[in-house]
Copies of this chain bind each other. A is one copy, B any other.
Amino acid sequence: MPEKPLKPTERATQVPLGADATLGFIGHVETPWKTRADCPKQGRLDGPDCAVVLRSPWDGALQGIERFEMLELYLWFHLARRDLLVIDPSHGGGPRGVFALRSPVRPNPVALSTVRLVAVQGARLIVRGLEAVDGTPLLDIKPGRCPHTPG
């Protein structure tokens, strides 16, 4: 999918981002949304069932997860461009720095989704509350802490 052209008020950097550390994907998510344009802006806890699929050996690190109602999923937004400094959001407010926005476009596109755990099926968790595109890589799962209710 081609990137949208920048608005005149927006700014990208030509300085290449370093490669200071590496990430290992531990699985991926399965959702009904096949493109970024299909994805909801924010996940809804009453949204459709989605799956979190763990890759071996990381399915061996799920013991005790069934005790938690809410989970934090750390996802890697692999489709996002990583060079924007200033964004002029279509919802208004004028241009501002990437760090003053929750846009998925970021130098290191790690996204945290708070989801409700519906069921544990071996290496597969059924959850609600996701907004990511189908196939988005998974970096981590943590038990939920914050009573934030998206949607």
Binds B, one of A32-40, A43-51, A91-99: A91-99
Contacts of A140 in B (CB 8 A): 99, 106-108, 110
Chain B residue nearest to A150 in the complex (CB): B145
Cβ contacts A1-31/B at 8 Å (1 or 0 each): 0000000000101010111111111100000
Oligomeric state, in number of copies?
Answer: 2
Chain B residues within an 8 Å CB radius of A84: 61
Q: Which residue of B lies closest to A71 (CB)?
A: B99
User: Which residues of chain B come closer than 8 Å to A58, judged between CB atoms?
Assistant: 13, 85, 99, 107
Supposing A65-B97, A100-B65 touch, asked if A85 and B110 sit within 8 A by C-beta, the answer is: no
Q: What 20 new A-B contacts, CB under 8 Å, besides A11-B60, A58-B107? A: A15-B56, A18-B25, A19-B24, A20-B24, A21-B23, A24-B82, A24-B108, A26-B107, A60-B85, A61-B85, A61-B86, A61-B97, A62-B97, A65-B99, A74-B108, A101-B142, A101-B143, A102-B142, A102-B145, A110-B140
